[in-house]
Chain A
Amino acid sequence: MLVDHFFRHESGKMVSVLTKIFGSQNVDLAEDVVQDSLIEAMEYWQYHDVPDNPSAWLFRVAKNKALNIIHREKYKRQYSNEAAYLLSSGEQSEPADPFSEREIQDDQLRMIFTCCHPSISADSQVALSLKTLCGFSIPEIARAFLTTETNINKRLVRARQMIRDEKIPFEVPKGKDLELRIQAVLETIYLLFNEAYSATKGNDVIRFELCQEAIRLAQMLENENTIKQKGDIFALLSLMFLNTSRFRARQDQEGNLLTMGEQNRLLWDRKLQASGFEYLQKATENTVTGTYYILAAISANYCLAPDYNSTNWENILTLYDCLVEMDHSPVVLLNRAIVLSKITGAQKGLLELERIKNEPQIRTYHLFHSTQAEFFIELGEFEMAISSLIVAAKWAPLESIRVLLKKKISYCKEKISCDSSF
């Protein structure tokens, strides 16, 4: 039996190696060759058995196809120098075999930096990484991000076009440039992770796998010796592991999203959490203090509490105060207000919300209004709560959220009629 996700991951390796051979302008050609090779393998193994070394089998088939294309289209396309080398050395490419473990690892790293090049738009970076590095198909990516295949295809086409137009090289940046570019790669990985983690509907299995892929990409960076400063990589890994540990507890049987307070903590994955804490420790040893580190530390505080009421709110508030200094966005302030209200009461929370209520991205953000409603409910001001809930329902992105909000509204109405009957 093949190891889990073998085809997906082999696909990522082969596309990387072939992109080096064909040149980054021909990444689509690399993808086609890999797709053909996988089908070839499938159609052959279907009647026999999986060979002892399936990876080597696949790579030989892919190499043969690549050689064939280079011979055939010698004058039609421009290839990298690698291609000429592969051509001349043929089968006896012993000294620098492009298909050696070491080379494959390097090529995957080059691929990460090519896919996450800052001149490609963020959503195209995510789509291209998933397609080339993680071996996801267009329908799978579309399903995970709740969008259409046409849409994903457009993002891919734009990304490949940009690589050609900007002549984005297939290489790992060096020196000072490396530090900056690593930040860009981490941002893309975090975006990929967040999109998968926070989508409230859609296929659960595939979104969990996407979270795992984000972790795998970050670990490729972690395992790279030429990268010296790994603090932020550790911090992001910690954050992703800690959040993923709560993945299965975030929804009830009907698929409704549960708040931290409502989650069954027995469903938290302690093994993933342990990895998260290990990475947090490593990040601390590297004395990082970036956004990922603080977010990971906040996540860790939630993970450590045996139940919601014993959460260490003071710790979390201190961390939010640090976060606000780096990221003054209203969403961060909103989350800080919730934490603050746990310590100083809902009235203080409401005051905090007053300060951001006119921010454009907040006015249409359903969570702002539902948070406000929660504060009003705590204070027994049910009329006020209802008007906030109505606004929240107006901006809620999903039907399931609207259903929950309407339940809250009925609850408030009951309370009001109870009060008035006395």
Chain B
Amino acid sequence: MKEFMLLIRNEGDGKSALSPEQQQKFLNDCMVYIQNLIKDGKLKGAQPLVREGKMISGRPGAFKDGPYNESKEIIVGYYHIIAKDMDEAITIAKGNPEFSYIKGARIEVRPIKTVEESTSFVYPKGE
């Protein structure tokens, strides 16, 4: 079993175009989605992210902290899941209701580093 981050990306305020009724339908679908992940023991955590933040760049002594959302697309939340492999993680990501409701929604699937890729060596826990 591996861990993955599903990073939800939206363009601008992609959700504001939904009517209250559509918002509710979207939420109902999300509830089913989350419940199923919990039932299968695949959900480790999920959180929304505030759309505004800071982007730190530069180096010590010369930091810049500009606005975060300079690009059109921003990360609006994440699901931290457990899956057998990349394929399963992709399947789980594809099942996210974002794709049915939010125009231009994209999900980035990123494995969390717990294993050395080339040898499958599991990194020792640092306790």
Contacts and interface: CB of A to CB of B under 8 A. Distances in A.
Interface of A: 1-2, 5-8, 10-11, 35, 38-39, 42-50, 135-137, 139-140
A7 B48 contact: no
29 contacts: A1-B28, A2-B27, A7-B20, A7-B21, A7-B24, A7-B27, A8-B24, A11-B20, A35-B16, A39-B16, A39-B18, A39-B23, A42-B26, A42-B27, A43-B15, A43-B48, A43-B76, A45-B27, A46-B30, A46-B48, A47-B34, A47-B47, A47-B79, A50-B27, A136-B20, A137-B19, A137-B22, A140-B19, A140-B21
Interface in B18-67: 18-24, 26-28, 30-31, 34, 46-48
B20 A137 contact: yes
Nearest to A2: B24
Contact of A46 (B20, B22, B27): B27
Residue in A2, A38, A47 whose Cβ sees the most chain B Cβ within 10 Å: A47
Contacts of A1: 28, 31
Given A47-B46, A50-B27, A39 B21 contact: no
B15 A39 contact: yes
Residue in A6, A7, A8, A137 whose Cβ sees the most chain B Cβ within 10 Å: A7
Contacts of B111: none
Nearest to B98: A46
Interface string B66-94: 00000000001101000000000000000
A297 B114 CA distance: 74
A47 B48 contact: yes
B19 A136 contact: yes
Contacts of A44: 48
B51 to A, nearest CB: 9
Nearest to A137: B19
A38 B20 contact: yes
Interface residues of B, number: 22
A140 B22 CA distance: 10
The 8 closest A-B pairs by CB, nearest first: A137-B19, A7-B20, A47-B46, A7-B24, A135-B20, A46-B30, A11-B20, A8-B20
Contacts of B18: 39, 42, 137
A368 B31 CA distance: 53
Contacts of B34: 47, 49
Contacts of B15: 39, 42-43
A2 B23 CA distance: 11
B20 A50 contact: no
B50 to A, nearest CB: 10
A119 to B, nearest CB: 28
Given A46-B77, A47-B79, A5 B21 contact: yes
A11 B22 CA distance: 13
Nearest to B34: A49
B30 A45 contact: yes
B110 to A, nearest CB: 17
A38 B48 CA distance: 15
Contact of B23 (A38, A49, A136, A140): A38
A11 B19 CA distance: 10
Nearest to A134: B20
Given A7-B24, A135-B19, 15 more contacts: A1-B28, A2-B24, A8-B21, A38-B23, A39-B16, A39-B23, A42-B26, A42-B27, A45-B27, A45-B31, A46-B77, A47-B77, A49-B34, A135-B20, A137-B20
